Chain A
Amino acid sequence: MKLAVKYFGMIAEAIGKQEEQLEITGNSVLEVDVFLKNKYAKLEFLNYKFAVNQVLVDGIKRLKENDEIALLPPFAGG
């Protein structure tokens, strides 16, 4: 399944880009997470939440073709 993935903050830095198109097997957010962690080992040690089509979701959220996924890290600074 083809997905558009966006990265923010430390996640974008760890991955080295702000967005990309990915071809992913599986159809849940959890599976995307495993896929991304295998592709980018640094993700294992970072905190983030997923949004799908600009809505915050949990891991069991089902995905469909061309969904837009965003990885949102918490920010500490003030």
Chain B
Amino acid sequence: MTQKLTDKEKYRYSRHLLLDKVGEVGQEKLKTAKVLVIGAGGLGCPVLQYLTAVGVGTIGIIDFDVVDETNLQRQILFTINDIGKNKAIVAKERLEQLNPFVKFEVYPEKLTPKNALAIFKHYDIVVDGTDNFSTRYLVNDACVIAGKPLVYGAIYKFEGQVSVFNFKGGPTYRCLFPEPPKAGSVPNCSDVGVIGVLPGLIGTQQANEVLKIILEIGAPLSGKLLIVDALQSSSISIKINRSEEQVEKVLASATNFENNDYELFCGVKKTHHDNEISAEELKELIKVQNIQIIDVREEWEQPKVDELNMINIPLQTISMNLDKIDKLQIKVIVCQHGVRSLRAIDYLQQNGFENLINLTGGIVTWK
């Protein structure tokens, strides 16, 4: 049931009521709408400010994090007096002053597979303003299972992405990026920086998408990824198709959703280390088993270990030397300190190689 406007609300929203495409009917749709904003950070702040200002009736805010002084360069809801306080709670206090006609639900906690579906079911639209891949995949999957449209935004330094996923049979985040990148391979704002106004640009675009969906006007960014370049003031729109295979996979996980581990899925935490070997264990292994030992250091790197029959394939040349690597045998990958060898193993696994073992700590541990 659409909620009617009071006289005070009609006055407050008079500039909306003047618009043909909004009017009293549209404003009532906004008042009736329930939108959940995940993350009250760089993207979440402008999203929340606009959704509150325009009179979205119910707004949920979920964020476990506290305000840090380094957030103030872009997270424009907060002041120096808020440092150390929970973002969701501070945001609610500030936003209530902006529009007392809006009802806020605050979740000062981490979004997890255990609470996601129970929270999402109370809302019509979910807005993603998170800063990590494990939460992004969790949000996507929970939206697919709960059948909620997802307004996506993500930023990197001077560039941003916006899209609307899972909207009326359109593509999902996994139709764009089926697998998360390796943990740590894509940095976030706190790692590499971000220009202060970028989350403002992208968050405002997200708020615009939310309004279009609620008001049923214009063309929501479903099936398209908008990429914005703040330095060039340019943008490009990429067409994305729905992958039924990806959607089916998510739906199949619905029955056991609470037990999904997104941090594990995104490699934030590791399972176990049975693909690691110490120098002592390697010494024993070569006595009993025929294995291939691959040294991914540069040719000039020392020490060379004569007792180990190693073949040298420097990391940067590995793609051109896949034919030298045995498909079946156990392969121990070696470098100076055991870091580059992990990258080589990642690459080889992506290219279908199995039975890969890392020499923990590298060749310098060989005695």
Contacts and interface: CB of A to CB of B under 8 A. Distances in A.
A47 B350 CA distance: 11
A38 B130 CA distance: 34
B194 A77 contact: yes
Interface stretch (B156-164, B212-220, B271-279, B302-310): B156-164
A54 B347 contact: no
A54 B224 CA distance: 10
Given A49-B177, A70-B236, A78 B186 contact: no
Interface of B: 39, 41-44, 128-133, 136, 153-157, 159-161, 176-177, 180-182, 185-189, 194, 199, 225, 227, 236-241, 316, 318-320, 343, 346-347
11 contacts: A9-B156, A37-B319, A45-B182, A45-B346, A56-B239, A73-B181, A75-B159, A77-B188, A78-B39, A78-B130, A78-B131
B3 to A, nearest CB: 31
Given A38-B320, A72-B238, A78-B188, 12 more contacts: A41-B319, A51-B238, A51-B239, A54-B237, A54-B239, A75-B154, A75-B155, A75-B160, A76-B156, A77-B154, A78-B39, A78-B129
- A interface majority secondary structure: mixed
Contacts of A41: 316, 319
Given A10-B186, A37-B319, A45-B185, A78 B155 contact: yes
Interface range, A side: 20 to 34
Interface of A: 6, 8-10, 34, 37-38, 41, 44-47, 49, 51, 54-56, 70, 72-78
A73 B238 CA distance: 13
Contacts of A9: 156-157, 159
Q: Report the 3 A-B pairs with minimum CB-CB distance, sorted nearest first.
A: A75-B154, A47-B181, A75-B156
Interface centre among B44, B130, B154, B347 (most CB of A within 10 A): B154
Contact of B240 (A6, A34, A56): A56
Given A37-B319, A55-B238, A76 B347 contact: no
Contacts of B133: 74, 76
A30 to B, nearest CB: 13
B238 A78 contact: no
A10 B191 CA distance: 13
A78 B130 CA distance: 5
Contacts of A6: 236
Given A9-B159, A38-B319, A45-B185, A74 B236 contact: no
